Amino acid sequence: MADNPEIAIEYLRRLDTGGDLFELFTDDAVVFLPKWGVATGLEEVRRMFADVGSGLAGIKHDLDGLNIITQGDTVVLEGTSAGSLPDGGTWDNSRWCDVFEFTDGRIHRLHIYMDPDYCERDTARYPWHTS
Protein backbone atom coordinates (compact mmCIF):
# COMPACT_ATOMS: atom_id res chain seq x y z
CA MET A 1 0.00 0.00 0.00
CA ALA A 2 1.26 3.48 -0.85
CA ASP A 3 2.08 5.90 1.91
CA ASN A 4 0.04 9.03 2.53
CA PRO A 5 2.26 11.53 0.63
CA GLU A 6 2.21 9.23 -2.41
CA ILE A 7 -1.59 9.05 -2.23
CA ALA A 8 -1.84 12.84 -2.04
CA ILE A 9 0.38 13.18 -5.11
CA GLU A 10 -1.65 10.50 -6.91
CA TYR A 11 -4.77 12.60 -6.18
CA LEU A 12 -3.14 15.51 -8.07
CA ARG A 13 -2.13 13.24 -10.96
CA ARG A 14 -5.68 11.97 -11.30
CA LEU A 15 -7.08 15.48 -11.01
CA ASP A 16 -4.83 16.53 -13.91
CA THR A 17 -5.58 13.53 -16.13
CA GLY A 18 -9.25 12.90 -15.36
CA GLY A 19 -8.54 9.65 -13.55
CA ASP A 20 -10.83 8.26 -10.83
CA LEU A 21 -9.77 10.30 -7.84
CA PHE A 22 -12.86 9.38 -5.78
CA GLU A 23 -11.59 5.90 -4.99
CA LEU A 24 -8.87 7.66 -2.99
CA PHE A 25 -11.48 9.08 -0.57
CA THR A 26 -13.34 7.54 2.36
CA ASP A 27 -17.13 7.33 1.98
CA ASP A 28 -17.55 9.99 4.69
CA ALA A 29 -14.86 12.34 3.35
CA VAL A 30 -15.04 16.08 4.00
CA VAL A 31 -13.62 18.50 1.42
CA PHE A 32 -13.42 22.30 1.68
CA LEU A 33 -12.92 24.58 -1.31
CA PRO A 34 -13.12 28.40 -1.20
CA LYS A 35 -16.24 29.84 -2.83
CA TRP A 36 -17.87 26.37 -2.84
CA GLY A 37 -17.84 25.55 0.86
CA VAL A 38 -17.71 22.19 2.60
CA ALA A 39 -18.70 18.96 0.87
CA THR A 40 -19.56 16.16 3.30
CA GLY A 41 -19.73 12.57 2.10
CA LEU A 42 -18.60 11.15 -1.20
CA GLU A 43 -21.76 12.16 -3.08
CA GLU A 44 -21.28 15.85 -2.19
CA VAL A 45 -17.55 15.61 -2.87
CA ARG A 46 -18.33 14.31 -6.38
CA ARG A 47 -20.78 17.20 -6.91
CA MET A 48 -18.21 19.76 -5.75
CA PHE A 49 -15.57 18.46 -8.15
CA ALA A 50 -18.14 18.34 -10.99
CA ASP A 51 -19.16 21.95 -10.28
CA VAL A 52 -15.58 23.20 -10.20
CA GLY A 53 -14.47 21.02 -13.10
CA SER A 54 -17.22 22.37 -15.34
CA GLY A 55 -15.47 25.75 -15.22
CA LEU A 56 -12.10 24.35 -16.32
CA ALA A 57 -10.84 23.20 -19.70
CA GLY A 58 -7.67 21.76 -18.19
CA ILE A 59 -5.34 21.91 -15.21
CA LYS A 60 -1.79 20.74 -14.57
CA HIS A 61 -0.07 20.75 -11.18
CA ASP A 62 3.72 21.13 -11.02
CA LEU A 63 4.47 17.84 -9.24
CA ASP A 64 8.24 18.34 -9.39
CA GLY A 65 8.05 21.62 -7.47
CA LEU A 66 5.88 20.45 -4.55
CA ASN A 67 6.65 21.33 -0.98
CA ILE A 68 5.56 18.30 1.07
CA ILE A 69 5.06 18.39 4.83
CA THR A 70 3.95 15.36 6.81
CA GLN A 71 2.99 14.83 10.41
CA GLY A 72 1.29 11.59 11.40
CA ASP A 73 -1.77 11.09 9.19
CA THR A 74 -1.65 14.68 7.91
CA VAL A 75 0.03 15.68 4.64
CA VAL A 76 0.34 19.24 3.38
CA LEU A 77 1.15 19.86 -0.27
CA GLU A 78 2.06 23.34 -1.43
CA GLY A 79 2.61 24.08 -5.09
CA THR A 80 1.57 25.77 -8.29
CA SER A 81 -0.74 24.95 -11.17
CA ALA A 82 -1.33 26.09 -14.72
CA GLY A 83 -4.36 25.61 -16.88
CA SER A 84 -7.11 26.98 -19.04
CA LEU A 85 -10.78 27.89 -18.94
CA PRO A 86 -13.42 26.92 -21.52
CA ASP A 87 -13.40 30.49 -22.92
CA GLY A 88 -9.65 30.30 -23.65
CA GLY A 89 -8.42 32.14 -20.57
CA THR A 90 -5.21 30.73 -19.13
CA TRP A 91 -3.20 30.92 -15.93
CA ASP A 92 0.29 29.91 -14.93
CA ASN A 93 2.01 29.54 -11.56
CA SER A 94 -1.19 29.83 -9.51
CA ARG A 95 -0.26 29.06 -5.90
CA TRP A 96 -2.28 26.66 -3.76
CA CYS A 97 -2.00 24.58 -0.60
CA ASP A 98 -3.86 21.34 0.18
CA VAL A 99 -4.15 19.83 3.66
CA PHE A 100 -4.96 16.10 3.65
CA GLU A 101 -5.92 13.90 6.60
CA PHE A 102 -5.87 10.15 6.02
CA THR A 103 -7.71 7.23 7.57
CA ASP A 104 -6.49 3.73 6.67
CA GLY A 105 -4.70 4.95 3.55
CA ARG A 106 -7.62 6.96 2.15
CA ILE A 107 -8.35 10.69 2.15
CA HIS A 108 -10.77 11.47 4.95
CA ARG A 109 -10.41 15.25 5.03
CA LEU A 110 -9.10 17.62 2.38
CA HIS A 111 -9.00 21.37 2.72
CA ILE A 112 -7.99 23.14 -0.48
CA TYR A 113 -6.61 26.65 -0.07
CA MET A 114 -6.42 28.56 -3.34
CA ASP A 115 -8.03 31.43 -5.19
CA PRO A 116 -10.69 29.97 -7.52
CA ASP A 117 -10.48 33.14 -9.66
CA TYR A 118 -7.91 31.34 -11.81
CA CYS A 119 -7.39 34.08 -14.39
CA GLU A 120 -7.69 36.94 -11.88
CA ARG A 121 -10.72 38.48 -13.59
CA ASP A 122 -12.38 39.68 -10.39
CA THR A 123 -10.84 43.13 -10.82
CA ALA A 124 -13.89 45.07 -9.61
CA ARG A 125 -13.24 43.98 -6.03
CA TYR A 126 -9.46 43.48 -6.39
CA PRO A 127 -8.20 46.25 -8.72
CA TRP A 128 -4.54 45.37 -8.15
CA HIS A 129 -5.13 42.32 -10.41
CA THR A 130 -5.52 44.39 -13.59
CA SER A 131 -3.26 43.56 -16.50
| 74 in a structural domain | yes
Nearest CA to 13 out of 56, 55, 66 is that of 66
* Predicted pLDDT at 121: 60
| 26 in a structural domain | yes
Give the DSSP per-residue string, 9-45. HHHHHHHHHT---GGGEEEEEEEEETTTEEEESHHHH
| 96 in a structural domain | yes
Stretch 95-114: mean pLDDT: 96
Domain span holding position 66? 4-115
| 130 in a structural domain | no
| 129 in a structural domain | no
| 106 in a structural domain | yes
Q: Which amino acid is at 30?
A: V
Which one is predicted more confidently, 72 or 127?
72
pLDDT digits over 33-90, tens only?
Answer: 988 999 999 999 999 999 988 888 999 999 999 999 999 999 999 999 998 988 898 8
* Predicted pLDDT at 118: 58
| 122 in a structural domain | no
| 87 in a structural domain | yes
Q: Report the number of distinct structural domains present in the chain.
A: 1
CATH of the domain at 42: 3.10.450.50
Is the pLDDT score of 15 beyond 50?
yes
Is the pLDDT score of 29 beyond 50?
yes
Measured distance CA(95)–CA(21) in Å, rounded: 21
